[in-house]
């Protein structure tokens, strides 16, 4: 296990170098730059050049790259170009919100999706197809709905008409009730997509396992059906579900960007969008680096869960 963790960390190095370089270059290929964004139409000529110099953008690109990478090696993410604030501080403020939303989404959607997926599979296995068909139809419908459209629909219903959940405002970790109310709508939007996908995968996986010989063996030894499902079927069907949930987490990071923006939640998604809009290279580079780290972390976590569930898995 420790051996595996070390190997994974070694693999991390080329990944990080790749991500850093790619983001560095991509940002500079987009037309426009931070100076232009800050100055607007007011500055020109020498003044603009002076400002560019002051922001550290006057030096050649390779030099900027070297500076950035050496900074990273000292765990220094630098300061934002536009506001001059330390990037690490901004990320530390925004990250917990995003991580909390993402983790809650994965937990809630897994619990709901695995439940309905299992029920659908169980009934389908006994030849009762109606629930199964209903679920398949519903999940398809939800999956096809664009998330921003659903977000607007939910806001219209729950914020403007019913007035249950606020759609904007600060997030305060010290008041969980208020906080949950605040993130309820984004959670709903994010969960909807995940539940649809995970439920479908669970259904397929459980249905397949229910047809396996060892399920018949367990039944032939008098294990009641429901206990067969919990003792044997769910655990064996877990692999594809976990794979998908792990991948879903990656998609979720994408999803949070739009959703945070719509519901104006001050997470790293919002931070990223602001950074891109103002061409704030250092900020965008660092935020994307954080995303990459999260993604790799989740990958490692799913691998460990595999090993825990299935003794045949070799890490």
Partner 1 sequence: MTPGTQMNPLLQVDQLRTYFHTREGVVRAVNDVSFTLNSGERMAVVGESGSGKSAMAMSLLQLLSYPGSVESGRVLLEGRDLLGMKEEELNHVRGGEIGTVFQDPMTSLDPIMSIGDQLVSHMIRHLRLNPRQARERAAQLLTQVGIPDSEARLRSYPYELSGGMRQRVLIAMALSCKPKLILADEPTTALDVTIQAQIVELLKDISTETGMALLFITHDLGLVARFAQKVAVMYAGRIVEYGSVYDLFERPQHPYTQSLLRTIPSIKGPRPKRLMQIGGFPPDMRQPIEGCAFADRCLAAVPQCRLEAPELEVKHGRQQAACLVDGGIEAVIGQTMPLHREGAEPLPQDELRVETRPVLELQQLTRHFKTDASLFKREGRTVRAVDEIELSLDPGQTLGLVGESGCGKSTTARMLLRLDTPTAGEIVVEGVDIAKLKGEALKSFRRKVQMVFQDPYSSFNPKMKIRDIIMEPLQVMDIGTREDRELKVQDLIRTVGLDTVYLDRYPSQLSGGQRQRIGIARALALDPSIIIADEPTSALDVSVRAQVINLLADLRERLGISILFISHDLSIVRHISDKIAVMYLGKIVEYGSADAIFEDPKHPYTQALLYAAPVPDPVAEEKRTIRLIGGDLPSPSNPPPGCHFSTRCPMVTDRCKQDQPVLEQMADTRKVACFHAS
User: Using an 8 Å Cβ cutoff, are 124 and 132 in contact?
Assistant: yes
CB of 303 to partner 1, least distance (A): 16
Size, binding site for partner 1 by CB under 8 A:
27
Cα 133–136–141 angle (5° rounding)? 125
What DSSP string runs through 136-202?
Answer: HHHHHHHHHS-HHHHHHHHIIIIIIIS--S-SSS---TT-HHHHHHHHHHHHHHHHHHHHHHHHHHH
Minimum CB distance to partner 1 smaller for 55 or for 234? 234
> What's the start-to-end Cα distance of the chain, in Å?
7
SS3 267: coil
**Helices then strands, each counted (H, E), the chain:** 13, 0
Contact with partner 1 (CB under 8 A) among 26, 69, 92, 126: 126
Beta bridge partners of 79: 86
DSSP H/E element including 303: helix 281-309
Q: CA nearest 33: which of 52, 53, 19? A: 52
Minimum CB distance to partner 1 smaller for 82 or for 209? 209
Q: Is 3 in the site for partner 1 (CB under 8 A)?
A: yes
Interface with partner 1 by CB under 8 A: which range of 15-23, 125-133, 148-156, 191-199? Answer: 125-133
Q: Is 172 in the site for partner 1 (CB under 8 A)?
A: no
For the segment 185-224, give every residue that binds partner 1 (CB under 8 A): 211-214, 216-224
CA 314 to chain centre: 27
Q: Is 133 in the site for partner 1 (CB under 8 A)?
A: no
SS3 79: strand
Q: Is 145 in the site for partner 1 (CB under 8 A)?
A: no
Minimum CB distance to partner 1 smaller for 7 or for 54? 7
CB of 112 to partner 1, least distance (A): 25
Q: Is 14 in the site for partner 1 (CB under 8 A)?
A: no
Minimum CB distance to partner 1 smaller for 169 or for 211? 211
CB of 209 to partner 1, least distance (A): 10
CB of 199 to partner 1, least distance (A): 21
Q: Is 307 in the site for partner 1 (CB under 8 A)?
A: no
Q: Is 7 in the site for partner 1 (CB under 8 A)?
A: yes
CB of 242 to partner 1, least distance (A): 13
Residue whose structure tokens are 């008098």: 222
Binding site for partner 1 (CB under 8 A): 3, 7, 125-127, 211-214, 216-225, 231-232, 235-236, 309-312
């Amino acid at each position: 296990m420790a051996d595996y963790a070390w190997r994974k960390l070694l693999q991390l190095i080329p990944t990080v170098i790749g991500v850093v370089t790619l983001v560095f270059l991509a940002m500079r290929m987009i037309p426009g730059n931070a100076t232009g964004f800050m100055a607007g139409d007011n500055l020109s000529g020498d003044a603009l050049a002076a400002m560019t110099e002051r922001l550290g953008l006057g030096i050649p690109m390779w030099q900027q790259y070297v500076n950035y990478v050496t900074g990273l090696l000292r765990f220094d993410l630098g300061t934002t170009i536009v506001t001059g604030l330390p990037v690490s501080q901004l990320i530390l403020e925004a990250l917990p919100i995003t991580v909390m939303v993402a983790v809650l989404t994965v937990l809630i959607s897994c619990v709901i999706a695995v439940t309905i997926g299992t029920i659908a599979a169980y009934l389908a296995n006994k030849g009762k197809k109606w629930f199964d068909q209903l679920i398949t139809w519903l999940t398809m419908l939800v999956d096809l709905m664009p998330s921003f459209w659903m977000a607007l629909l939910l806001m219209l219903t729950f914020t403007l008409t019913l007035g249950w959940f606020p759609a904007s405002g600060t997030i305060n970790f010290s008041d969980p009730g208020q906080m949950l109310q605040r993130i309820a709508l984004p959670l709903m939007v994010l969960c909807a997509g995940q539940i649809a996908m995970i439920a479908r995968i669970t259904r397929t996986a459980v249905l397949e396992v229910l047809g396996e010989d060892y399920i018949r063996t367990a039944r032939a030894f008098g294990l009641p059906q429901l206990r067969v499902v919990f003792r044997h079927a769910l655990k064996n069907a877990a692999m594809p579900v976990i794979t998908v949930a792990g991948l879903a987490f990656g998609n979720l990071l994408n999803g949070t960007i739009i959703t945070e923006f719509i519901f104006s939640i001050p997470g790293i998604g919002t931070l990223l969008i602001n950074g891109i809009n103002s061409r704030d290279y250092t900020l965008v580079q660092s935020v994307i680096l954080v995303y990459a780290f999260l993604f790799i972390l989740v990958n490692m976590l799913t691998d460990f869960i595999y090993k825990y569930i299935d003794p045949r898995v070799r890490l």
